[in-house]
A and B are shown apart, each in its own frame.
Chain A
Amino acid sequence: MSLDIQNVSKIFPGPRQGFFGRGEGFTALDDVSLSIRKGASFGLVGESGSGKTTLTRCILRLESLSAGNILFDGSDIHKLTPLQMRRLRSRLQIVFQDPYASLDPRMTVHDIVAEPLVIHGDVVNMTASRRTERVMELLLQVGLRSEHLFRYPHEFSGGQRQRIGIARALAVNPEFLILDEPTSALDVSVQADVLNLLHRLQVELGLTYFFISHDLGVIRYICDDVAVIYRGRVVEQGPVAAIFDNPQSDYTRMLLDAMPDPDPDRSPFRKIAAV
């Protein structure tokens, strides 16, 4: 299993002008090529508006492509029939950024985590009681407890909600997880727990991660390979150590410099003050 993104471009149509014409489109992705190895963690770094969200939407086929191919295990995601796509969705899951918005507030934890099992019922084929057992396993696996089963999302903290989101993504035994800024809405201490959980799950279940973040520290911590994306273009990609220790592009260097380090001696302001 691997994911190959080949020369993908996405141009959003411009505003309507007159009856037939359209204004100039907006290029969200410009000739993006990435290759994600099986079992590895691939990091995608970019700031807001860089196109990283559009790319995930394209991978999930929530958005069509203007050019290029996205190959999952050799088959082009955007050329699959609806049925094939539904099958594929059970192998390719996503954890969203905002743990407050990504869980339906009117559903219990049980129903949220069981939903993929119900949707893919034709493949998974579980009885209701077997489903509940599976949900329990998942909750324990992500560090939640059995008494959480029939509670509602608003009764949980941000970190716990993100664990629920992870449990939902793991329900149908996927091979590939898209992690869309899974920790950026969390406290640092909670973030550390979630990152360690993700790392543990990857080792235990042999998952492949596509990890999107604007936090270079997080990327460095969890990823093996990294690509830096800026205004829809990949500026730089390679093994994490190489990119972080020896960045080639000015943009990557700027990002590294701008990252606040909790060591007071590394402060750019204090350096000035000391002189």
Chain B
Amino acid sequence: MALLDIKNLNLAMRSYEGETQILHGIDLKIERGEIWGMVGETGSGKSLTGLSVSRLIASPPGRYLAGSIEFQGRDVLKATDKEMRMLRGRHIGMIFQDPTTNLNPAFRIGTQLVDVALHAGHADPSVLGLGAGASRGDFKKAAKRVAVEMLEKVGIPKAADRIDDYPHQFSGGMRQRVLIAMAMIGKPDLLIADEPTTALDVSVQAQILRLIHDLVAERNIGVLLITHNLGIVAQICSHVAVMFRGRILEAGKVNDVLKRPSHSYTQALLNSVPTVHTKRGELMGLSGAMRETSA
């Protein structure tokens, strides 16, 4: 049984223009220990695929036409709201692009982390290292301990002192670390990271990528990393799926796909990345024809 098994996912969204199909038969299987990169341009449907896994797309406007998303054998699309809340806090962790808007500025970092820890703890006390009969006091104490541990784990120095700080006292990179700590606190089996480093400096990006890489190595979790940056995929992903207009054009091991792309779109994407080694004039955008016809 795969950790995550998306089968023939078809999603339509309703808007002023009427209902349009956004995802056309997405198939994707993620096992533990794999880091799947999902690359594509704006509007290719990569983020909506990620949100679908935690069922964070409101309905309406969203509507699933067909398909299933099996997480550890259970279909997420058929789960009750209560089961979903349990999954989100405990088994599926999510990190989003903008670390500033995803922390509540009015509460201390610690308060927010402890909240998440308590939520996860109520779903499964073993997350906090507690038995089923633990008292409320035990829960609170354990939640705080776990919060500090997680902050240390994601590389925040003097975590025990900083837990009483407010989000604005952290830099962008540090905030993203806090969010990763928050996502990891329930010891999830799957981490969905939607452009986790896009808002960060390259030097900080390298640190965050290392952190994700180490977490996978240590906890044997599965990761779905949504990004538009092929460089990031090449760096830390084990597998990659290339999305275009709501379809996966090709998917497989990073080495196979990026070195011997079977689809011309993948090749075109690779050609459009300026690296330190690209000479002027070598860079090629996607030809207009490609954009018009392959819809």
Contact = CB atoms under 8 A, between A and B. Distances in A.
A–B contact at 8 Å CB threshold (below): yes
Nearest to B286: A189
Interface stretch (B6-14, B113-121, B138-146, B267-275): B267-275
Chain A: interface size category: 35 or more
B220 interface: no
A260 interface: yes
B229 to A, nearest CB: 6
Q: Looking at chain B, what size class is its interface with the partner chain?
A: 35 or more
Contact of B236 (A193, A257, A267): A267
B190 interface: no
A268 B209 CA distance: 11
A261 B229 contact: no
Given A188-B228, A190-B41, A258-B206, A266 B278 contact: no
B261 to A, nearest CB: 11
Contact of A189 (B41, B236, B275, B276): B41
A267 B230 CA distance: 12
Interface string A238-275: 00000010000000001111111111101111100000
A221 to B, nearest CB: 4
Nearest to B231: A260
Interface centre among A47, A189, A216, A261 (most CB of B within 10 A): A189
Q: Which of B42, B270, B276 has the most CB of A within 10 A?
A: B276
A260 B286 CA distance: 21
Interface string B196-209: 00000111011001
Contact of B234 (A190, A216, A266): A266
A219 to B, nearest CB: 9
B274 A218 contact: yes
A48 B171 CA distance: 11
The 6 closest A-B pairs by CB, nearest first: A260-B231, A193-B285, A192-B272, A217-B274, A192-B285, A47-B201
